[in-house]
A and B are shown apart, each in its own frame.
Chain A
């Protein structure tokens, strides 16, 4: 290749925005981070296991999620050490019109402004991922452009698992004009800015007829198609594995962008962080008692959080020393949502110091600012 041709090729690649900076818009696409739990946990409309991937369901069925550790053969095929394993725990063999079962990944609006949705220059995206299931058939990827004061638009795309219990790599192109529509390129297609919810992706097992539309066509209320049900939710014990999820701008699926565990954890910590005691008397933070019964301490998070979080602890009484009977968020100390004042009620020496301290192993304080 001549020098001129090489430069032209470089320019083409750079224009595709596919080698500049961070490519993968998905956080934790390799399923490395699993702060809440690693073993099977019910995911009913909750973040329960691997970070940033949430259960999304309506109906009588249920599924669990766990962080699955890959075998050498799995790693050789996928290049990933972890996967999200979904297992049907309560069957739903008759999907009602309003039922749905899916895994959801949410994005902040500010993180997607370079997609230029809401303009005629809206970008094409490419989603790639590895998937494996004992149940073959048609599944659904759904792109959900959140309304945010405009209109919610949805793009369902079928994908097929062809061989049971076999890793398959899927690549889906997400065109802003899919189905020859102009919903996304029109002004109502804009993705709201800010730190709020801008877009969701769903990996769908089943959607009732209330949500059916045309494959690969933007619409409203259309999360899936009327493709023959795959039957995944019909039998307890059915399994679905997902890993190597990558979403990038452009029309080509490039190799998975591996990030270190530390980088991925830091990205996840914007939405959720969990401090866990490894043993009794582990300190979470130190406080100042202003009376014999009350005091305050400051808890700092590893990263600034997306928004004011919810604090969760195990039942305070009995799990924290100094006879703690209450432990609550009382204020945030900085504009970045990284320092929080905790109010303690317990038994203290007035004007002395005390510890917010576990009275056993596996006691935790978590802060949740998920979308």
Chain B
């Protein structure tokens, strides 16, 4: 599994960043995962790719 793009997102009610939206090579779908989901395979993959320098998480809109 390769994460292609990632971007933080906010909870509109509080304007706080709560998660990361991301895409993989699977087209036509959207994924979201909460921050600090440390035992989630996608979250771990995002962190790995960031550490490897192959992914940058974009700021929230």
Question: Interface of A with B (CB < 8 Å)?
Answer: 45-46, 195-196, 290, 293-294, 296, 306-316, 326-332, 343, 345, 368-371
Contacts and interface: CB of A to CB of B under 8 A. Distances in A.
Q: From A195, A316, A326, name the one whose CB has the most chain B CB atoms within 10 angstroms.
A: A326
Contacts of A307: 37, 39-40
Contact of B40 (A294, A315, A369): A369
B49 interface: no
Interface in B30-46: 30-34, 36-37, 39-43
B30 A316 contact: yes
A311 B1 contact: no
A229 B41 CA distance: 32
B18 interface: yes
A43 to B, nearest CB: 12
A108 to B, nearest CB: 10
Given A310-B40, A330-B19, A371-B41, A290 B28 contact: no
B12 interface: yes
A368 B31 CA distance: 10
Nearest to B42: A310
Nearest to A340: B34
Contacts of B39: 195-196, 306-308
A329 B34 contact: yes
A315 B11 contact: no
A46 B1 CA distance: 7
Contact of B19 (A196, A314, A328): A328
Contacts of B30: 312-316, 327
A330 B12 CA distance: 9
A312 B31 contact: yes
Given A195-B39, A329-B33, 17 more contacts: A46-B1, A196-B39, A294-B13, A308-B43, A309-B40, A310-B31, A310-B41, A328-B9, A328-B21, A329-B18, A329-B19, A330-B11, A330-B34, A331-B11, A331-B18, A343-B13, A369-B40
A371 B44 CA distance: 11
Nearest to A290: B13
Contact of B29 (A312, A326, A328, A370): A312
Q: From B11, B32, B41, name the one whose CB has the most chain A CB atoms within 10 angstroms.
A: B32
Contacts of A312: 29-31
Nearest to B25: A44
Contacts of A46: 1
Contacts of B1: 45-46
B41 A332 contact: no
B23 to A, nearest CB: 10
Contacts of A294: 12-13
B50 to A, nearest CB: 16
A79 to B, nearest CB: 33
A306 B19 CA distance: 19
11 contacts: A195-B39, A296-B13, A308-B33, A310-B32, A310-B33, A310-B40, A313-B29, A328-B19, A329-B19, A332-B34, A343-B12
Contacts of B32: 310-311, 328-329
Given A312-B31, A316-B30, A370 B19 contact: no
8 nearest A-B residue pairs (beta carbon): A308-B37, A307-B39, A328-B32, A294-B12, A330-B11, A310-B42, A310-B33, A329-B32
Contact of B12 (A313, A332, A345): A345
Contacts of B40: 307-310, 369
